Structure 1
Amino acid sequence: MCTHHHCINRRRLLLAGAASGLLAACGRSPEGGGALVPVEIDRSTSCALDGMLLADYPGPKAQIHYEGRAEPDFFCDTVEMFSIYLNPEQVRAVRGLYVQDMGKANWDAPEGHWIDAHGAWYVAGSRRHGSMGPTIASFAEEADARRFATEFGGKVLRFAEVTPDMVVLDGGALHDQRM
């Protein structure tokens, strides 16, 4: 049998644990600092741009965390994330960007292995395709990016080297001379 004081402390502990779980699920750390953490995708996670289910497509996924929003915007392709982020009309304050480390994640069914997009290595122009066709592969380690580029082609880049003209979302239609 518990004393009144013991029951109140236990209830506070349970409520604190539940709050921590909710904060972690929303991409925030329970510590007062508001540290940002990536949010894992599941079978129902959809792309912020087109509603495609991320889990149904190959290649690296991405997420953008905006100031004042508990949930991130998810993208079924790194090209989409870069296109939104590098868009001159992008005015929302960005708290964080995450991409998947394709040196560890399974290309055909990527799960987990989220890394900060700013510190990642990228391979643009490879023969590997993501959900929307040609994609920009993301890696935590330079050696993994270079191995990937050797096997599948492409150029190894850092975050700041990815430019808006590399991430146009028209599917090549603007450059198709047959149209």
Structure 2
Amino acid sequence: MYKKILMVLALVCVLTANDSYNMNFDRETTCTVRNFKVYEAPQWVCKIELNSGKELFFCSPKSMLEFYLVPGRWYHVGVKSESDFKNIVVTDYETLKPINARGAFYVYGSNTISPAGDDLIPFATYDAAKKFASEHNGKRILSFTEISVGLIDWLNG
């Protein structure tokens, strides 16, 4: 019961935050990790805004999380630590609106694939993630902090 109350309070904080996010990309914007054109699948687009003002776009949540968890693989970007990240944004799979990635719920193991293959499907609410998981063979719902390098490597095969 206590855990459910905390989840509801966290959700209310996320939903009532005044942050508004946007996904300003064009036909030339490419995924930092996979070099795909992100406009081809806008329902999957994610981005990381750096404190320097630079925006890094990704073709899927898995690609964004791969970068977030091990940014040193893309040393040319110049990210030295997590403190370089200002905002992390994913597209809610249900509403197609940009949301805070740290407050999202991710469905693992569904029968839905992104341009990057097996992926984690993001939702603004736990209920939306739960509904999607039940309809699309999802195995588990994860919070941002539950996602590990090992899981991303597993999804990458």
The verdict on a shared fold, with TM-score over 0.5 as the criterion, is yes
TM bucket (normalised to shorter chain) is 0.7 to 0.9
1:162 paired to 2:153: no
Unmatched 5+ stretches in structure 1: 1-34, 106-112, 173-179
1:26 counterpart residue number? none
Indicate which of 99, 106, 109 corresponds to 1:115: 99
Query: Is the alpha carbon distance of 1:63 and 1:161 closer, same or farther for their aligned partners in structure 2, counting shifts above 3 Å?
Result: same
Q: Which has the larger radius of gyration?
A: 1
Structure 2 gap ranges (5+): 1-18, 73-78
**Total equivalences in the alignment:** 130
CA distance in 2, matches of 1:51, 1:149: 29
Identity %: 27
2:95 aligned residue: 104
Please list, as runs of the form range in 1=range in 2, the aligned pairs for 1:13-162 lying within 5 A after superposition.
Answer: 37-57=21-41, 60-68=44-52, 70-87=53-70, 89=72, 91-92=80-81, 93-105=84-96, 113-154=97-138, 155-162=140-147
- Asked if 2 retains the 8 angstrom alpha-carbon contact of 1:59 and 1:137, the reply is no
> For the Cα contact (< 8 Å) 1:121–1:158, is it kept in 2?
yes
Q: Which runs of 4+ in 1 moved over 4 A?
A: none
Indicate conservation of the 8 Å contact 2:32/2:57, yes or no: yes
**How many Å apart are 1:153 and its aligned residue?**
1.8
Q: C-alpha displacement at 1:169, in angstroms?
A: 8.1
Instruction: Give the helix-richer structure, 1 or 2.
Output: 2
Deviations 1:111-165 (A, max 9, x none): xx10000111110111100001101100011111001100112211111111111
Normalized against structure 1, the TM-score is what? Answer: 0.65
